Amino acid sequence: ALKAGIVGLPNVGKSTLFNAITQAGAESANYPFCTIDPNVGVVEVPDERLDKLTELVQPNKTVPTAFEFVDIAGLVRGASKGEGLGNKFLAHIREVDAIVHVVRCFVDENVTHVDGKVNPISDIQTINLELILADLESVEKRIERSRKNIKGGDKKYAQEVEVLERVKEALYEDKPARSIELSDDERLIVRDLHLLTLKPVLYAANVGEDEVATAEENPYVKQVREFAAAENAEVVPISAKVEAEIAELEGEDKEMFLEELGLQESGLNRLIKAAYKLLGLYTYFTAGVQEVRAWTIRKGTKAPGAAGVIHSDFERGFIRAEVVAYADLLAAGSMNGAKERGQLRLEGKEYLVQDGDVMHFRFNV
């Protein structure tokens, strides 16, 4: 499963947010393939389309698609030099697909700030510097190795050195690797190094509990937005403390509490949606009377690969898929209605699954 790692300086609200995530956590019986680890929180991805499909089909059961957050606490200044078990944490970051960087935007004299005062940009730069230093080490090692290989006469290594020198230069200028323009070929070369600063980032701006409705007016949030815009990153304002309270409520109580706070939906839901989008993920649906369910694929997945998310047998024995776009199905009112309108398509092995496709797979066992 795809994972987003939660990082940030100490005392910014990571544990509070992570507790809200596990508290709100998914029904684990539905996700037997998810990691069982105290540092991993499985959440359901909110999707209004799934609710609409449920109304339409009236199945026995509805299962949202899930997503994992990993708590990567302990990243501090000096991590790249191996201080404070730093390298171990960097290794954990290497394994995630995206980074949720929690930044402190709340003021509270009772909560110590590691650097003495609230300054989100300086906090971001402290963490980013550690990631950049770790990447520099990887890049320099690789350049050295590739240089030796050039002497062996292989042209491939010359190109590798050329690209990596550019990455190195950017890192020296304190720029993350994701800020560099790379061709597809170059991207392949760089991807091999599993650079930390190449991963997509989302900043979770943690505001005080009395600021949730007016988070955008918080001057620190404004600073984070400006900073993020320059490096093409997303920002989600959130109050970790409030989310922890929301996560304990259900149904009407939850709705009422959100209304009191002046919120349309919980910050956690916004965070989940933003992380999902950040990873470039698509959702397709299966809709039968037994179960209506959402499934996650990466953009660019073909029909057999999408079937494989359900079961590897579906991929191996794939024959074809019956597909109807969600909007068409909703407009037609039923599968039969969509069929009559000619909107139920038969698609083969090369079909690129689209976000919102409702699919039924035919396969050989």
Q: Residue ranges for the binding site for ATP?
A: 11-16
Residue 99 interacting with ligand GDP (CB under 6 A): no
The size of the interface with ligand GDP (CB under 6 A), counted in residues, is 18
Among 111, 121, 158, 229, binds ligand GDP (CB under 6 A): 111
Q: Which of 179, 25, 14 is nearest to 100 (CA)?
A: 14
Residue 240 interacting with ligand GDP (CB under 6 A): yes
The CA distance from 177 to 186, in Å, is 12
Residue 6 interacting with ligand GDP (CB under 6 A): no
Residue 266 interacting with ligand GDP (CB under 6 A): no
The single residue listed with the structure tokens 């230093």 is 133
Give the number of C-alpha atoms closer than 13 A to the C-alpha of residue 16, restricted to the C-beta side: 23
Considering beta carbons, is residue 10 or 25 the nearer one to ligand GDP?
10
The interface mask with ligand GDP, positions 68-87, x = CB under 6 A, is -----x--------------
Residue 39 interacting with ligand GDP (CB under 6 A): no
Residue 208 interacting with ligand GDP (CB under 6 A): yes
Among 27, 51, 108, 216, binds ligand GDP (CB under 6 A): 108
Considering beta carbons, is residue 95 or 210 the nearer one to ligand GDP?
210
The single residue listed with the structure tokens 């690129």 is 352
Residue 142 interacting with ligand GDP (CB under 6 A): no
The CB-of-209 to ligand GDP minimum distance in angstroms stands at 5
Residue 120 interacting with ligand GDP (CB under 6 A): no
Cα–Cα separations (whole angstroms), residue 301 to 97, 296, 297, 351, 356: 17, 10, 7, 8, 13
- Calculate ∠ Cα 172-205-12, nearest 5°: 85
Query: What string of DSSP letters covers 301-341?
Result: -BHHHHHHHH-HHHHHTEEEEEEEEHHHHHHHSSHHHHHHT
Residue 159 interacting with ligand GDP (CB under 6 A): no
Residue 11 interacting with ligand GDP (CB under 6 A): yes
Residue 101 interacting with ligand GDP (CB under 6 A): no
Residue 8 interacting with ligand GDP (CB under 6 A): yes
Among 5, 13, 41, 176, binds ligand GDP (CB under 6 A): 13
Longest dimension (CA), the chain: 70
Residues 91, 94, 99, 101, CA torsion sign? positive
Residues 6+ apart with CB under 8 A from 147: 157, 161
**Burial class, 182, CB count within 10 angstroms (exposed 0-12 / middle 13-18 / buried 19+):** middle
Considering beta carbons, is residue 108 or 169 the nearer one to ligand GDP?
108
Residue 247 interacting with ligand GDP (CB under 6 A): no
Structure-block tokens of residue 64: 């949202």
Considering beta carbons, is residue 123 or 160 the nearer one to ligand GDP?
123
